[in-house]
Structure 1
């Protein structure tokens, strides 16, 4: 996967290209995360590619029609609504920066509306399916040890994929059973994991020490000396491992599942927000929505007044 700098450099001769590198420097100066920079630059780079077939020669000639036609083309490629919305937001931020830098006198996105993202609750992975997935990770190879530790840590802590992939050796405290991550907004937080995950993490730690790339700072090592695992590598591992036991599961679904099971077990919403790295209840409501009715029914049965009188 190219770095944001490489992606910006690859579009240096496009309509927007000459400004992409400067915008990226501004994002870096604002201490935006690598993932945010990559998302923003990728969105604007795709708009830049679309503009190759249009009449605009530089940023001042980009019109509202250009932007809206680009959005229509993204829908035509069958991208998810959330992906199209992210691309729109990236372009919006770019043109806002262009305005601030007086590269343009008016944004072509003025009065445009962000693409609607339909409300589609994410399906929760049930406990019996999770048990089956865990059982499939009980092997003794390096890959088995690593994958078992990664999946268990994911489901114990609800880390974002980028946070899980970005773990360094120095971020992992095996004795106190905690990991420290740098979340959105570059806000650090420390999250504890359970005893069974501690065993899996320790087993992986011992297996990791025998790898020839053990001196690398990244916690998750690829096999065969290929360096540290990336977010894409962990994503593919989870999809592959779940598919092997008949599940169609992706990492974001595991994060939603973690949130549901945390609340269903009696965890507080405040603790869930801290562990997940959320500042507003909007994300809490979004993650808890798909199984809120189920939890409400269970609570009603458990707390029935008539049973206590």
Structure 2
């Protein structure tokens, strides 16, 4: 659901009742299955009880809202509309769409990868405005230990499973002098990534390249998680810029995640989502 912060205020909207209806549905969505009373809803959307009741009645007639003991909650029609939306949603196509209009990621190399044992395989790549030819291309296979996308994906495994997979020195290739070299150091990196919510590669794969990656949850219960990451010139990877990149990757994860299966943490309140056109060519 769209945040109420992104909905035009009703006094400036060309259709105030529609704007209030959107805010109302978003409010009920954020409260999950907990019913809200008429008074609570009216106060939250800054509307009179009489006009709020009129909106609720129309939404109830359309199956968008259900009246239950204790107030109102979302109706079953929302699930039907969500299914219709998802049936036409292509995660990889939307990855390219998002990256093409994102204020920062549009300029950077951005990739999607999956974990295969102790390696990552790259599935998609947005070139950015200054392509890095030595960065992995689609279909390339890289060791997971030194890469940001690999470390992000390893956060989804238990430490015991990581230890089982990375039991030998062959899983720690020395790609640069910064590359992680052993299991204890890898586990510390993974622990730090879990705590901060994203993984980094500080010149571990290529000198002068700083990687940042976040987990992209599985689309459905039968899928495996992916990771979305970007490769920055290390000279430009200041703490402030990396923080902005992390926020934009978070917005990408939110946009690309299946809302029927996952609740993704929202980006900061001052973060502006890029307007993603419906079908930008890949």
* TM surpasses 0.5: no
Instruction: Give TM class, smaller chain.
Output: under 0.3
Name whichever structure is richer in helix by fraction: 1
Name whichever structure is richer in strand by fraction: 2
TM-score, length basis structure 1 = 0.25
TM-score, length basis structure 2 = 0.26
